[in-house]
Amino acid sequence: MVITEVRIKLVEENNERLMAFCSVTLDNAFVIRDLKIIEGTKGLFVAMPSRKLTDRCPRCGSKNHLRARFCNNCGTHLDENRAPRDHDGRAKLHADIAHPINSACREVMQNAIIKAYHDERERAKIPGYVCTYDDYDGGDYDYESPSYAGMVAGGKPGFRAHGGHGANGRGTHLGQSDKGAAARKATDEFGAGL
């Protein structure tokens, strides 16, 4: 594995610990986004992209973040100390989405990222500085995502339609247009359907 690019987005200095966001490209083929460079008690370190851990409500089975005091679905009071604890007794509230498997890989990544961070801070002092980090490229890639219906109907290997959505009668996704819900909703008038 070769780290072929590191892009840094510096954070304003009024933030206490978060110094920057970054993305790492591996072998000119794979990108990991939303890594964070954080000022810790022992210096800078890199936090891998993570997601909040959830559990299910004992009453209705709905998912809730481990810090939630009440169920988002039914309003049942939830135990505030239900999060699993690590070996130091701290609540484990997040899980890494992508991370190095061993300490040697972590060290290689962290050293490359922190070096790129220091280089970016120096570049930021130059007049006319432009950040190279892109918040989710608008279309730099030549890959065009096919619709779900197109993949299934076209007989793409590895894709098949699943059954209907049970009692609510929504059926499969094959009858949906190629536009996603967000794109369809964007054409609606503001507040329509409220």
pLDDT of the residue at 145? 45
CA distance 24 to 115: 13
Which value, in Å, is the radius of gyration of the alpha carbons in the chain?
22
pLDDT of the residue at 14? 72
CA distance 117 to 120: 5
What SS3 state is found at 151? helix
Would you give the DSSP letter of residue 98? S
pLDDT of the residue at 191? 54
pLDDT of the residue at 136? 58
Domains of the chain: 3-50+95-124 (3.30.1120.40), 148-185 (no CATH)
pLDDT of the residue at 29? 95
List the alpha helices (DSSP H) in the chain: 103-124, 148-153, 181-186
Tens place of pLDDT per residue across the chain (194 aa): 899 999 999 998 777 899 999 999 999 999 999 999 999 999 999 999 999 999 999 999 999 999 999 999 999 999 988 999 988 988 999 888 998 999 999 999 999 999 999 999 999 999 999 888 876 544 444 444 445 455 545 554 554 555 555 444 454 544 444 444 444 445 555 555 55
pLDDT of the residue at 189? 56
pTM for the model: 0.60
Sign of CA pseudo-dihedral 176, 179, 183, 187: negative
pLDDT of the residue at 13? 78
Residue 141, φ and ψ in degrees, nearest 5: -100, 150
Name the token pair of 183. 């794109």
- 113 burial via Cβ count (<10 Å: 0-12, 13-18, 19+): buried
